Amino acid sequence: MESSSAALGHPAAAGASAGAAGGGGHHHGPPEAHASSKVDRQVLGMILFIVSEVMLFGAFFAAYFFLRVVVNPEAWPPESVHLPVAIAGINTAILVSSSFTMHYALEGIRRGNHLALKLGLAITWLLGATFLFIQVNEYIHIGFSARDGAFGSVFYGLTGLHGAHVFIGLLLLTFANIRAWRGHFGPAAKEHLGVEIPGIYWHFVDVMWIIVFVTVYIL
């Protein structure tokens, strides 16, 4: 919780602290914001964005479970539908692996190992792109479309929504890769926010896929 500050009629207070912080120099502009939450504003922004994304996915899952439990059709999925569970399982392993390589990249840069950062980010990007490629390939060969009943709609809705998130994640990783190769990042926390924030997003995307995979393909 941020503190509510109500300094009592003492104009010297702000000036004294500003002077101290600036090594005795003149302070221009507003004072530094308090950060009682101890979270960088950029990280906090991503976390809040993810909270909104959880609600978005929640709406799609609500639709899925409404159709499956409340509408309760005779067969779920319909008998004509054969989901490629094995391929989706391998694809899940590929995507989950990319979270480990992402974490490896960040642990690398935290220790000042730029090679680990570049390697980890590059492999993460490749694994993410492979996942997306396999998913598109699955769409081509799966044998039903979003128009084929409620199951088709909700299947493509959930997996498509997730695929869009993987695509956005790949864009973020592309920028992180380029910046890593150009030497923009350093070991201090503030020096690699450009990897930390896409990393949080990427883990979220992976967690959502685990839930989508278990819900749609397994249960």
Partner 1 sequence: MHNPMRSEAEAFRWLVVILAGALTVIALTLLTRPLVGAIWALVLIVAGLAMALRDSRGTEHGPLAVTRGGDGRHRVLALANQTVRSPALLEQLAESTRERRAEIRVVVPALPGSRAELWASDTDEATELARQRMELCVLDLREAGHRANGAVGDSDPSVALADALAEYPADEIVISTLPPGRSRWLDERVVERAREELSLPVRHLVWDPEAKRATPG
**At its nearest, how many Å lie between partner 1 and the CB of residue 182?**
21
Among 61, 64, 99, 158, binds partner 1 (CB under 8 A): 99
Residues that contact partner 1, how many (by CB under 8 A): 48
Q: Does residue 96 touch partner 1 according to CB under 8 A?
A: yes
**At its nearest, how many Å lie between partner 1 and the CB of residue 128?**
14
Q: Does residue 200 touch partner 1 according to CB under 8 A?
A: yes
Give the type of residue at 126.
L
**59 vs 136, beta carbon nearer partner 1:** 59
**61 vs 156, beta carbon nearer partner 1:** 61
Angle at 33 between CA 29 and CA 37, to 5 degrees: 170
DSSP state of 33: P
Q: Does residue 29 touch partner 1 according to CB under 8 A?
A: no
Q: Does residue 38 touch partner 1 according to CB under 8 A?
A: yes
Binding segment for partner 1 among 111-119, 136-144, 157-165, 201-209 (CB under 8 A)? 201-209
Q: What is the rounded distance in angstroms from the CA atom of residue 123 to the CA atom of residue 121? A: 6
Which stretches does DSSP call E strand in the chain? none
CB 192 within 8 Å of CB 185: yes
State the Cα torsion 101-167-42-102 to the nearest 10°: 0
Report the SS3 class of residue 22.
coil
Q: Does residue 119 touch partner 1 according to CB under 8 A?
A: no
What is the sign, positive or negative, of the torsion defined by CA atoms of 178, 180, 182, 188? positive
CB 186 within 8 Å of CB 81: no
Contact residues for partner 1, defined by CB under 8 A: 1-10, 12-14, 16-17, 19-21, 24, 31-32, 34, 36-39, 43-44, 47, 96, 99, 102-103, 106, 195-196, 199-200, 203-204, 206-207, 210-211, 213-214, 218-219
